[in-house]
Amino acid sequence: MAIVDRALEGRVALVTGGSRGIGRAICEALGRRGATVVVNYAAREDAARETAALVEAAGGKAVTSKFDVSKSDQVTEAIKQLGKDQGGLDILINNAGVAINGLVMRFKDEQWAQTLDINLAGAFYCTRAASMLLLKAKERGRVVNLTSVVGESGNGGQAAYAASKAGMIGLTKALAQELSGRGVTVNAVSPGFIETDMTAEHLPEAARAALLTKIPLGRIGAATEVADCVSFLCGPEAGYITGQVLRVNGGMLM
Ligand code: NAP
């Protein structure tokens, strides 16, 4: 059930990879609660604009911001500009990610580097660039990092992806300790298999059927189900939750 109060009115949220999939659903969920949402994207400007329109239709405000989270200089510049334009930043959602799959014996250096640079270093660059703004937000400050079930369980053919998502959990816990002094909370949300472009690309029909047998709830999840948990962690009701990993996986890892 989506949270529909206006508790995030007046708060500014940056959602990396907000143009599509889970990121888009998070933007909408935060907009529904009244937030001003900065919708980051890497390439798909059309999709980012669609997300911004959905945020406004849901009752929030939205702007788009193009930068590659794996490029430290772009991140620093964009977040500095965002701070000036919006007058601050209260919520950072490190959601941008890629899944580059393949067996270790054939995996290339560039594929390893790209996965780690976007999925893990990207979250580090964004949080570092945002940290002064978040500390100024004090108890309103929130960071939510998107990890994955495979960051805890591992998965054959996803060594780089799993390593990046396991790293995200360590990053979350370290940041939670560093930022807690001013009341900023840092948590991770760990989805199982969710219906988005990412799973459409990497999950053929036969693999999908086999996967369903491993999910106690017997279905793939919806992006909105992840977004509602992120929205909860961003609200005042979650002010005493930090350093945690909230699993949204239909029971596939307990
Ligand atoms: P998706 O549908 O493939 O969307 C990926 C998003 O990330 C897009 O908005 C894309 O922007 C953006 N992006 C990619 N590289 C970027 C970069 N270098 N800089 C900035 N933005 C970049 O993915 P998703 O399924 O929604 O996944 C979102 C997050 O949830 C990821 O971190 C993923 O690992 C995690 N997750 C997903 C699942 C799942 O089953 N789907 C499960 C567990 C965890 P453009 O539109 O511009 O390309």
Domain span holding position 197: 12-248
Residue 144's pLDDT is 99
DSSP designation for 194:
B
162: domain CATH number is 3.40.50.720
Number of independent structural domains in the chain: 1
Residue 221 DSSP SS3:
strand
**Which residues contact residue 132 at a Cβ distance below 8 angstroms, ignoring those fewer than 6 apart?**
none
199 lines ligand 1 (CB under 6 A): yes
Residue 4 included in any domain = no
Report whether 48 contacts 63 (CB < 8 A): no
* For ligand 1, mutation pick of 22, 190, 203 (most atoms within 8 Å of CB): 22
pLDDT tens-digit readout, 225-247: 999 999 999 999 999 999 999 99
Residue 195 included in any domain = yes
Mean confidence (pLDDT) of the chain? 97
Residue 204's pLDDT is 82
pTM of the model: 0.98
- Token digits for 203? 């999950």
Report whether 215 contacts 188 (CB < 8 A): no
Residues 11-15 have a mean pLDDT of: 99
pLDDT tens-digit readout, 62-101: 999 999 999 999 999 999 999 999 999 999 999 999 999 9
Residue nearest to atom 46 of ligand 1 (CA): 44
- Token digits for 196? 């988005």
Residue 5 included in any domain = no
Phi-psi region of 87 (alpha: psi -120 to 50; beta: other; left: phi over 0): left
pLDDT at 1 over 90: no
- Token digits for 24? 């888009």
Residue 253 included in any domain = no
Residue nearest to atom 32 of ligand 1 (CA): 97
Tell me the CA–centroid distance for residue 119 and ligand 1, in Å: 9
β-strand partners of 66? 41
Residue 174 included in any domain = yes
Q: Which residue has the tokens 């979250």?
A: 123
Percent of the chain with pLDDT over 70: 100
Residue 254 included in any domain = no
Which sequence positions are flagged as catalytic? 161
Ligand 1 atom with least separation from CA of 193:
40
Percent of the chain with pLDDT over 90: 94
Residue 227 included in any domain = yes
Tell me the CA–centroid distance for residue 181 and ligand 1, in Å: 31
pLDDT tens-digit readout, 25-76: 999 999 999 999 999 999 999 999 999 999 999 999 999 999 999 999 999 9
Residue 212 included in any domain = yes
pLDDT at 202 over 80: no
Residue 203's pLDDT is 80
Tell me the CA–centroid distance for residue 214 and ligand 1, in Å: 23
